[in-house]
Amino acid sequence: MIRARPLEGAEVYEGVRVIRARPLEARRPSPLFVARSVRHSLRRFAALLVVFAFAGTFLAGSSGPVARAAPVTTNFPVHADFRPNDPYYVDQWGLGKIGAPNAWDVTLGAPSVVVAVVDTGVWWTHRDLQANMWTNLIDGSHGYDFIDGDTNPMDNDPQGIYHGTGVSGVIAALIDNGQDIAGTAQVHIMALRALGLNGQGSSLNTSQAIRWAAQHGAKVINLSLGTNETFGGPTDIQLAVDYAWSRGALVVAAAGNAGTPTIDYPARLPNVVSVAAIDETGQKAAFSNYGSGLDLAAPGDRILTLSGNNQVHYLRGTSFAAPFVTAAAALLLSVDPNLTNVELWNILNSTAVQPSGGASYNTDYGWGVVNAWNAINALSQPFISVNAYPTSVSRSSTFSVTWSILGPTGTAVTDTHVIWGTSSGQLGNATPAQTGQTHESYTAGGLTLPSGSDTLYFKVVATVNGTHYESREYPVAASNLPDFLFVLYQLLASNLLYLALFILALAAVVAFIPQRRAARARRAGFRAQTVYPNYYVQTPGASQPPPLPHPPPTATPVHPRAESPPIEFIRPTTPTSTPTAPATPMPATTMAKKRCPNCGTMVNADNMFCFFCGNPFR
């Protein structure tokens, strides 16, 4: 073996370098050596920490339950956040207030959904609206002008308000086109001009426009108009609204801008969705009407919308709150075109948000501020829509409740029924369970108001895919009408025109009965062949004797029936056989008169009965 010559500092073998330590006092360590030593120490320390960590995990697992990994959610939908590039979108605060941006991730709207705007017309050539105008396939027009009677419903407003154009812009201005504003729903606008240049109009033109819209396929009709007058009976507008409702259209109207607790007409009609206004703080606008019968609220202050001549401007009022609700309904129809007007209304009411956070109804906001995202999201899961039930019933009659279960089509419904009771929140009774599928109609019959109760409360419950769902609570009040009148009223109330005709006919019958009785009493006093009147009325002038009758028959005279008192008349005197000189005419005298307390007819003071109505005087 060959040994290398030893060196002072290190021994070197071929391919190997060995560091041999020397006494510290003999040689000072170099800085490089110190740095390398520190690094090696840190690495060893880190390795020890890792070993202890693994050991601790092992010991913890051996002394306690094994931690199981949470299930991993996969295959869930994702989407890109949509933000339109319309330059004035940043100032359209109302869209965010109703959840429109989230709703747009599901649908921007469908051109097959037609919304009618009954207003001052629409500036339909506006660059930010024209592509969303409805077109009549017959003549190529975009609606009708009921003021001028032509097919050009242009919004020509010398005052520069362009009311109908502003309403239409809130509903359906073009979105993401790099111009002006973003509309709430990309649907088609049917322009119907029923108001003149000053914003005034007649109920005749308005009712004609409503009917025209329903006949030409409008599924939602916006009425940003109204009056604070009160009417005692049906009007032409009410009949037109009922007609549109019967054809499946949802009618939305503004509540009014007087700041009073009374809803304007026609917003207060039963088949109209009434809409109040909120401001940018989310509270009721100071100018907005409110009160009993209010349905929803929506943004209505400082609303940026379209104007004439391709311009935009700010407007305010419940007139511009109503189109937000109209557009939300149009978005729902874009998702599910088979929704009925009752189902649309139920979804909008049930998914609205109260500004105070409560869930109950109040007269300031109705069911709350409309929320398009909540409404659309309701269609992604089972939703119970109560479609028909009576608000009042007679105490002894039975009634039924009809509902449908919306949501994903074809989902199995393993149980659905009505629960009810006589106290709110205490519904301990139930109808028989029913089964079926979503988008089917269900009916529970045989319900009756328990004896001694003034109100019945009910809910509809359902079990779909093992999950329990229920509707809100509905009240049914007791009616004080007799049963037969209530049934007749319910039958006729389905058509207010028939009800009005029935009331007129009933009034005519009531007025005819006394006349009939008086005529029967008059006929009882004399023979049928008597041709001269049984009475005559004296005028203020000279009195004239009645015409001479035919010679009286030899038969026994007919006496009045005991049950019918005699009627006052003048009996002719029988002439004697001895001729006498003609009597000197007596000067005319005015006989005393009195007024019948029953019908008001003036008769002789000594009459025992009124010759007109048969009322006895004594």
pLDDT, one tens digit per residue, over 355-392 is 988 778 999 999 999 999 999 999 999 999 999 999 88
What mean pLDDT do residues 516-526 have? 52
124-136 pLDDT per residue, tens: 999 999 999 999 9
- Kindly report the three-state secondary structure assignment for every residue of 60-102: HHHHCCCCCCCCCCCCCCCCCCCCCCCCCHHHCHHHHHCCHHH
Is the Cβ–Cβ distance between 347 and 362 less than 8 Å?
no
d(CA 304, CA 295): 24
What tokens were used for 333? 């129809």
Q: Give the 3-state secondary structure of residue 227.
A: strand
Q: Do domains 89-380 and 381-492 have the same CATH topology?
A: no
Closest by Cα among 477, 213, 452, 435 to 326: 213
Question: How confident is the model at residue 25, as a pLDDT?
Answer: 40
Question: How confident is the model at residue 12, as a pLDDT?
Answer: 32
| DSSP-assigned letters across all residues of 450-494 | PTT-SEEEEEEEEEETTEEEE---EEEEEP-S-HHHHHHHHHHHT
What tokens were used for 566? 């005699």
559 is catalytic: no
d(CA 293, CA 290): 8
Q: Which residues make Cβ contacts (< 8 Å) with residue 465, sequence separation at least 6?
A: 382, 411, 412
Which residues share a beta bridge with 211? none
Question: How confident is the model at residue 271, as a pLDDT?
Answer: 97
Pick the CATH number of 89-380 from 3.30.43.10, 3.40.630.30, 3.40.50.200, 3.40.50.1360: 3.40.50.200
CB < 8 Å & 24+ apart, contacts of 496-500: 496/234, 496/238, 496/239, 496/242, 497/234, 497/239, 499/234, 500/233, 500/234
Is the Cβ–Cβ distance between 294 and 276 less than 8 Å?
yes
Is the Cβ–Cβ distance between 172 and 187 less than 8 Å?
yes
305-359 pLDDT per residue, tens: 999 999 999 999 999 999 999 999 999 999 999 999 999 999 999 999 999 887 7
What tokens were used for 444? 């529970």
Say if residue 483's pLDDT is above 60: no
Is the Cβ–Cβ distance between 366 and 294 less than 8 Å?
yes
Model confidence at 455, in pLDDT bands (50, 70, 90)? Answer: very high
Closest by Cα among 525, 484, 488 to 505: 488
Q: Which residues make Cβ contacts (< 8 Å) with residue 401, sequence separation at least 6?
A: 386, 388, 389, 418, 443, 444, 447, 458, 460
Model confidence at 534, in pLDDT bands (50, 70, 90)? Answer: very low
User: What architecture is domain 381-492?
Assistant: Sandwich (2.60)
Question: How confident is the model at residue 340, as a pLDDT?
Answer: 97
Strands 250-254, 16-19: pairing kind = unpaired
- The kind and range of the H/E element at 601 are none
41 is catalytic: no
What tokens were used for 89? 């979108």
Omega before 266 within 30 of 0, i.e. cis: yes
555: DSSP letter: S
Say if residue 587's pLDDT is above 90: no
207 is catalytic: no
What mean pLDDT do residues 587-613 have? 67
270-313 pLDDT per residue, tens: 999 999 999 999 999 999 999 999 999 999 999 999 999 999 99
240-261 pLDDT per residue, tens: 999 999 999 999 999 999 999 9
Which one from 126, 142, 163, 417 is the annotated catalytic residue?
Answer: 163
Q: How many residues can be counted in the chain?
A: 618
Per residue in 548-586, is it b (16+ CB within 10 Å) or e — as a string? eeeeeeeeeeeeeeeebeebbbeeeeeeeeeeeeeeeee
What mean pLDDT do residues 394-411 have? 90
Q: Give the 3-state secondary structure of residue 543.
A: coil
What mean pLDDT do residues 474-487 have? 72
Q: CB count, 10 Å around CB of 124?
A: 23
**Percentages (nearest 5) of helix, strand, coil residues in the chain:** 25, 20, 55
What tokens were used for 443? 């009916």
Q: Give the 3-state secondary structure of residue 123.
A: coil
Q: Which residues make Cβ contacts (< 8 Å) with residue 404, sequence separation at least 6?
A: 343, 384, 385, 387, 439, 440, 441, 442
Which one from 119, 155, 264, 295 is the annotated catalytic residue?
Answer: 119
Q: Where along the chain do its domains lie?
A: 89-380, 381-492, 495-539+591-618
Question: How confident is the model at residue 549, as a pLDDT?
Answer: 45
Residue labelled with tokens 């322009």: 191
Which one from 168, 207, 307, 319 is the annotated catalytic residue?
Answer: 319
Using CA atoms in the order 502, 504, 505, 509, what is the torsion angle rounded to 10 degrees?
130
Question: How confident is the model at residue 365, as a pLDDT?
Answer: 97
